[in-house]
Amino acid sequence: MEIANVFTVIAFVFCALVLLVLIITVINLYFIDQRQKQHPVLRNYPVVGRARYFLETIGPELRQYLFNNDNEGKPLSREQYEHIVKKAKYKRDVIGFGSKRDFEEAGYYIRNSMFPKITEELKMDRETKVTTNRYLLVKEPLFTRRKEHFEQDESIAYLLDDSDAIVIGRNVKQPFIVKGQIGMSAMSYGSLGERAVTALSEGLGMAKGTWMNTGEGGLSEYHLKGGVDIIMQIGPGLFGVRDKAGNFSWDALLEKSKIPEIKAFELKLAQGAKTRGGHIDAEKVTEEIAKIRMVEPFKSIDSPNRFIEFTNFPSLFDFVERIREHTGKPVGIKVVIGSRHEADELAKQMKLTGKGPDFITVDGGEGGTGATYQELADSVGLPIKSALPLLDHALLQHGVRDRVKIIASGKLFSPDRVAVALAMGADLVNIARGFMITVGCIQALKCHSNACPVGVTTTDPFLQKALVIDEKKHRTANYVIAMREGLFRLAAAAGLDSPVHFRSEHVVYKDEKGKTWSLEDIYQMIVKEEVAK
């Protein structure tokens, strides 16, 4: 028999065997599906019904990449996501033809000046330079990957002028001086893997003038890698500042305060996406993370809903005072505003006691998280554009606004959103998910599962190898610098020489019918309502 015929016979036999196996498999699945009692679709439509479950599983990816339009996706749309990526990769974000914003919808707009500031009139630090690597897009073919060139780029850091630097804790022994208004929001090591934390630390350190918040998971060596300024967060679980019995340790706090990179401490009363204590699944609690937090490894961790060290504003303020005296550094609180009453009570107690925090981080209900429950994320706590004015107005009304700085957070990932927040009363802004995207996040929405496919929110060594620190750190730095540049650009358009001068009169709200109000008008209406009561 000729060799060609031999191969033909072999191929025929192989195909026949494959077909036979498939037929047997289908028949077997048919009877399994028909007899099972859990899924009605499979019981009535054996085998064929499995296609439904397959499409259901890959549905989020299909919607994200194929079916949702550029502005539909949640939590961040494709349009928003791409603007963050462009700033991080290319250190710039330029569009052509026109905006994709729906101008018929209600929204906030920055009021432009008839006589904007020119670049030379802007008041900024022009001496501090930053050198990073960025991508230069060479060609974008249809059927192959885009061709990009990685190049070194030097630019000014777009920091505030020394005279405009923001001082947190002016009266403490070691005040925290900030020259950039944008920093990294609280994200714990454990929720993020060590590669992600390291890339963020090194990138923020390169960008200069910014800070990173440790999150309630305690301080790790990875936070310190980039030499960036750090706000150490302390949650109700007291991770990093507790003894083996779980009680607050003043000795551990003092030890942390001696670390030069730590510039301030923050007590986490609540978080926008979960007005409760934090949670981390058992598979994420490695031995290293357990050592840092002083808990048992490979067991789920739940923080209490609140601190047991205080039960009201006076006792909270006493605790803040004691930490401030013990460390010599500024102390702040992180809160979620639920109504005008909470904001008013906070400011009122600051006035009555003469005490209080050096800064207040107000987190909007639209904020992100590594893990929470749907009912908390969707319905508890006001969004930032409602919460921030309430807090600012209450502090002003009780005459204590000059004693405290406000840090705002809640999807403030673009310069225009930051500018609106500053106009609403914020001094500084925290960003979390924007920074996650700079180190590779693709919004897989698996942060709680330890199965992040790009190695950002996982402690799995295999998955983490996808994240290359030496590449991602440049993206983080580029994003911060591009954000600050955009903020100065908006200030110039509004006729301001620096973004520190954004006020309520610089933002206008337009409703669906085209009617407009300035934030100043809205605040005056709030005051009139209060007087009427």
Q: What is the mean pLDDT of the chain?
A: 90
56-59 long-range contacts, CB within 8 A, separation 24+: none
pLDDT of residue 110: 95
**Residue 412 placed within a domain:** yes
| Distant-in-sequence, close-in-space partners of 278: CB < 8 Å, separation ≥ 6 | 188, 215, 216, 217, 235, 237, 271, 301, 302, 303, 370
**Residue 108 placed within a domain:** no
Q: What is the dihedral of CA 334, 277, 372, 440, to 10 degrees?
A: 60
**Residue 82 placed within a domain:** no
Rounded to an integer, the average pLDDT of 396-419 is: 96
Q: Which residue has the higher pLDDT, 183 or 282?
A: 183
- If you count them, how many residues does the chain have? 533
Peptide bond into 60 cis (omega under 30): no
pLDDT of residue 377: 76
Highest mean pLDDT among 5-9, 25-29, 517-521: 25-29
Q: With cut-offs at 50, 70 and 90, classify the pLDDT of residue 49.
A: confident
**Residue 218 placed within a domain:** yes
Distance of CA 478 to the CA centre of its chain: 16
pLDDT of residue 76: 86
Query: Which pairing describes strands 405-409 and 129-139: parallel, antiparallel, or unpaired?
Result: unpaired
**Residue 242 placed within a domain:** yes
- What's the CA gap between 200 and 191, in Å, rounded? 14
**Residue 300 placed within a domain:** yes
**Residue 311 placed within a domain:** yes
pLDDT at 528 over 70: no
pLDDT tens readout for residues 146-158: 788 889 999 999 9
Question: What amino acid occupies position 218?
Answer: G
Highest mean pLDDT among 142-146, 219-223, 268-272, 371-375: 219-223
- What's the CA gap between 44 and 66, in Å, rounded? 31
Alpha helices in 354-441 (DSSP H): 374-379, 384-397, 415-423, 433-438
Which two structure tokens, joined as six digits, stand for 533?
Answer: 């009561």
Q: Which residue has the higher pLDDT, 199 or 41?
A: 199
Per the structure, the count of domains in the chain is 1
**Residue 384 placed within a domain:** yes
User: What is the value of pTM for the model shown?
Assistant: 0.90
pLDDT of residue 531: 53
pLDDT at 108 over 90: yes
pLDDT tens readout for residues 497-527: 999 999 999 999 999 999 998 887 877 776 5
pLDDT of residue 283: 74
Domain that holds residue 318: 154-167+179-271+282-439+472-508
pLDDT tens readout for residues 469-499: 999 999 999 999 999 999 999 999 999 999 9
Q: Which residue has the higher pLDDT, 485 or 74?
A: 485
pLDDT at 53 over 90: no
Which two structure tokens, joined as six digits, stand for 83?
Answer: 């603007």
pLDDT of residue 526: 63
Rounded to an integer, the average pLDDT of 342-361 is: 96
pLDDT at 211 over 60: yes
CA-based Rg of the chain, rounded to a whole angstrom?
27
CATH of the domain at 246: 3.20.20.70
Calculate what percentage of the chain has a pLDDT beyond 90: 60
pLDDT at 533 over 60: no
